[in-house]
Structure 1
Amino acid sequence: MNSLQRFLADTRGVDTIPLKMVFYLSIAGMIILMTAFSWNNISPVVDDAHVDKQLEDVALGISSIQNGYAKDISSNDVEGSMGVLDLSLPEHVDYVSFGVDPDPDMDGNLTNTEWAVEKNTILCSYSEGFKTRVHINGDPIEFRKGISNNGDVWVPDDDSSALGSGKGVVLEGPISGEFVFEPVFVEGEGKYTLSHF
């Protein structure tokens, strides 16, 4: 009998193969389950770090346009410096506000209390009930919601006081896309950073 025939005829370990296979498949299954479980716990932390990074980039973008030209609202022919800011935030972000806290009592209702003005601040509120703030360096910045009147001329929205104090800009979730801000000058009032959305 040659060595190949002896190898094929040897059946001493055949009964342990199914047992080893079950054992190895069980270990592989536990590793897959532990990886999936740990990813579900790590994923929100990664998402929140990504949100913080985006908000810091937005703060830097807003800070950079503050030193540019502020358009005089009374002269519609010249545009001011504009900043186009990209945001793509996860669904558990309820709102992002600029220069205001629209829910100071943290009850989830943005219309039942007067908004608290927070100049130079971007505030992010999560559905879990906590908020994070990002500070914008530089001179005090007053944000105003903009509205487009005749054509593409953007002016402060005077009816925004129905939402709270009339100051600040709030983006409610889901938040994704490009958002434009422009510094403007209103005679008798001063300089604002106007939203174009």
Structure 2
Amino acid sequence: MHYDAESRTLRHNPLKALVAPRPIGWISAMNREGALNLAPYSFFNAVAGDPDMVMFSSFGRKDALAFAEEGGEFVCNLATFDLREAMNATSAPLERGDSEFAFAGLATAPSRKVRPPRVAAAPAAIECRWVQTVPLVPLGGGEASYFMVIGQVVSIYVDDAYVVEGRVDTGAMRPILRGGYQDYFVATPETRFELSRPPGAGG
């Protein structure tokens, strides 16, 4: 079978089920007045390594995007299996300026190089400075529905318990990953395997 937006041969668009599982960017941001926002984004990933950059993509100009632009900074907190309910709660449509930290019962911890705090219970957090927002204009023009926010990494927090011989033990943190529909996955040490790339293929 073939699916496209015109044919609608499936009841649900399969894209999110196929580009999966995806890491979740649990984004904390702060506006100029100090109001906090915390929201999960499944359109999230690392996009560069020199310098380190990450992106998240927002449907509409939501608070995380607006606060990241206004404050010039944001933090990507690691959403884990133990924090799954709190992560889900922070997707609630609160009024602008109402804190999802408070709504979900999450404590904050100060970041090292940026103003927005990190989720204290998260085992890792990536501190970023806002670089640019790219409107994702569709083919043929028209208004963008999604906006890609790009940030440069300036500091990374990792709980010492998950650093083993200089390497982060990702599986031990049990990060949750987004699938299609209402599906989530969890990374564990048991699902990990290693492959060495061919010589000259890069790291």
Q: TM-score range by the shorter chain?
A: under 0.3
**TM-score when normalising by structure 1:** 0.26
Pick the structure with more helix per residue.
1
Structure with greater strand percent:
2
